[in-house]
Amino acid sequence: MKPFPENFAELQGRVHQQMSLLLESRGYSPLVGKILSLLLFASGPLSLKEIADRLEVSKAAVSVQVRAMERHGMCHKVPYRNDRRDYYAVADDLCVTIIRSELAKVQEIQTCLHETLSALTAFSELGPDEEDSYIIFKNRFTELSSLYGLFAQRLKTLAVDWSMEHS
């Protein structure tokens, strides 16, 4: 792969591909990444048909993925040109949505860590061959819990800071 695109169209192609791979690794359809990158480059809202035509996929496939994107706060439906068709644009608060999504993932891990640490208190007796493993595990999970607590704290602060700087 060349280090720099030779033209704007090549840049757009690379971004479509990168966004597709990135969002697919996050559990989304590869089409979500392509739609999102298309909306990021768009100078105005795009209809489902325009999106489908540009990406050379069916309007039905775009419709399904756009609804998922709306649910996750990536885009939103906008009125446009006094037209009855549905038009979509990137969410105005896309960055805050991303921060909140990452925070939710961190909090889910935190919950798992806390539940596991709480379960450790239920053991009243350990066998001689279990004690070392118990202590090591408890220390590691306590450390992980602290790390994810710090992640959560920083993400909450980041969301506030971002909102204040970009409102």
% of the chain exceeding 90 in pLDDT: 76
The percent of residues above 70 in pLDDT, for the chain, comes to 99
Residue among 33, 42, 22, 101 at smallest CA distance from 66: 33
**If you compute the radius of gyration of the chain from its CA atoms, what whole number of angstroms results?**
22
- For the record, the structure tokens of 85 come out as 């068709």
The pTM of this model reads: 0.78
pLDDT higher than threshold 60 for residue 2: yes
Please report how many Cα atoms fall inside a 13 Å half-sphere around the Cα of residue 151, on the Cβ side: 18
* Distances from the Cα of 1 to the Cα of 10, 19, 21, 74, 78, angstroms: 11, 16, 16, 29, 37
pLDDT at 1 over 60: no
Predicted local distance difference test score (pLDDT) of residue 4: 84
pLDDT at 3: 77
